[in-house]
Amino acid sequence: MADIDLKTATPDTSLPTTGFLFGADSQAVSSPSVYSTQTVATTLLGSTTLTGTTITTDAPVLNLSQAWNASGVTFTGLKFNVSSDTSASGSILLDLQVGAATKFRVDKSGNLGLYASSAIRLGSSTVNWQLTLATTGIIQGSANYYGFYDGTNLAAGGSVDTRFYRDAAGVLGLRSTSTTTPAAMSFYTYGASPPAAPAASIARIYADTSGGKIRLMAVFPSGAAQQIAIEP
């Protein structure tokens, strides 16, 4: 399809005056229903506000689509580039709101803000991970795990080599690379000041060196401590 020069295009004056037509500057002056390309460009390149009407069926204010068809090309769907010569540290690249209350925000430093009222969920067709805000807890599916990477960061390369699993109701399992690979838990030793006694119905396990050799200990709500094992 050939390019169309909007500056020289002849407007279709048969359209209702409630719409707008493209035309040359001289036509825009003589007909209020015709807007020059300069006027449209100025509006689009400046601060543009789109306000949709009240709707009763699904009708997005913006509904964009595009077909990507080149395996060697890295495509970008939406791009917004800011030249921040000077701006407040809290300046925002994206702010999605409901009833004037922010729900999703990205600031100029790339910090992500999620302002959910009940939970933040991640997953594909089902929810695999959930941060429940009402009880300040993190929830995920029983087949999943909380893992630690063996690299300083994910980009450095490596693999997940330490995992916490749910073995059963109220039972936490520690593994290395899979559900069947062994792992161990280490304790840094206390010296003369062991941990405080726990609350009722709780026992606290720790390592102790106050007697010279390393001892694996348990302290109870009463404050009494019991040796479980001692270094040979």
Residue 27: helix, strand or coil by DSSP? helix
**Core vs surface per residue 210-224: b (16+ CB within 10 A) or e:** eeeeebebebeeeee
Q: Tens of pLDDT along 126-181?
A: 666 777 766 677 778 788 888 888 887 777 777 889 999 999 999 999 999 888 89
For residues 205 and 232, state if they share a domain.
yes
Q: Tens of pLDDT along 1-40?
A: 455 565 565 555 554 444 455 544 444 445 554 555 555 5
Q: Tens of pLDDT along 51-97?
A: 778 889 998 888 899 999 999 999 999 999 999 889 998 899 999 99
Q: Is residue 107 part of a domain?
A: yes
Residues 6+ apart with CB under 8 A from 39: 28
For residues 194 and 229, state if they share a domain.
yes
CA 183 – CA 151 distance, rounded (Å) = 18
CA 23 – CA 7 distance, rounded (Å) = 6
Instruction: Give how far Cα 232 sits from Cα of 64, 101, 121, 215, 222, Å.
Output: 70, 62, 49, 10, 28
For residues 2 and 43, state if they share a domain.
yes
Question: For position 178, what pLDDT does the model report?
Answer: 86
Q: Tens of pLDDT along 97-129?
A: 999 999 999 999 999 888 887 777 777 666 667
Q: Is residue 232 part of a domain?
A: yes
Mean pLDDT of 193-203: 92
Q: Is residue 65 part of a domain?
A: no
Question: For position 135, what pLDDT does the model report?
Answer: 67
**Strand pairing category for 21-23 and 34-36:** parallel
Q: Is residue 67 part of a domain?
A: no
For residues 132 and 119, state if they share a domain.
yes
Q: Is residue 57 part of a domain?
A: no
Q: Is residue 207 part of a domain?
A: yes
Q: Strand runs (DSSP E) across 10-100, as ranges?
A: 21-23, 34-36, 92-98
For residues 200 and 171, state if they share a domain.
no
44 secondary structure, DSSP code: H
For residues 134 and 97, state if they share a domain.
yes
Question: For position 85, what pLDDT does the model report?
Answer: 87
For residues 97 and 133, state if they share a domain.
yes
Burial classification of residue 66, based on how many CB atoms lie within 10 Å of its CB (0-12 exposed, 13-18 middle, 19 or more buried) = exposed
Q: Is residue 98 part of a domain?
A: yes
Residue 115 CB: number of other CB atoms within 10 A? 14
Q: Is residue 214 part of a domain?
A: yes
Q: What is the pTM of this model?
A: 0.58
Range of the domain at 28: 1-50
Question: For position 131, what pLDDT does the model report?
Answer: 72
Per the listing, tokens 């500056």 go with 7
Question: For position 71, what pLDDT does the model report?
Answer: 96
For residues 126 and 166, state if they share a domain.
no
For residues 131 and 151, state if they share a domain.
no
Residue 43: helix, strand or coil by DSSP? helix
Q: Bridge partners of 106?
A: 94, 112
> How many domains does the chain fold into?
4
Question: For position 96, what pLDDT does the model report?
Answer: 93
